[in-house]
Amino acid sequence: LFAITSNSKAGAKALLEAGADPNRRARDGESALTMVASGTDTDWLRLLLAFGGDPNARNAIGEPVLVNAGLRRNADAVRILLD
């Protein structure tokens, strides 16, 4: 999660390749996927999904990642999650 908040895709990829859990949650209950689904950089979303991120994950208040992306009007993320 630190790599995401630090905007370090190379760091995140290296951690994922070393076995980091793409579904790990932060202390507040947010998963990496719920964090990136609301952003505009879909490369993050693709990276996490490629390493086993759960496209059905829910945020801390129970909203699915897809709903989170839709509420943010992130059409690209919605398309990626539906594929």
Q: Which long-range contacts (CB under 8 A, 24 or more apart) does 69-72 make?
A: 69/37, 69/38, 71/38, 72/37, 72/38
DSSP state of 24: -
Residue 16 to residues 24, 26, 68, 79, 82: CA-CA distances in angstroms? 11, 16, 23, 23, 23
User: pTM higher than 0.95, yes or no?
Assistant: no
pLDDT digits (tens, 9 = 90+) for 33-77: 888 888 888 999 999 999 999 999 888 889 999 998 998 898 999
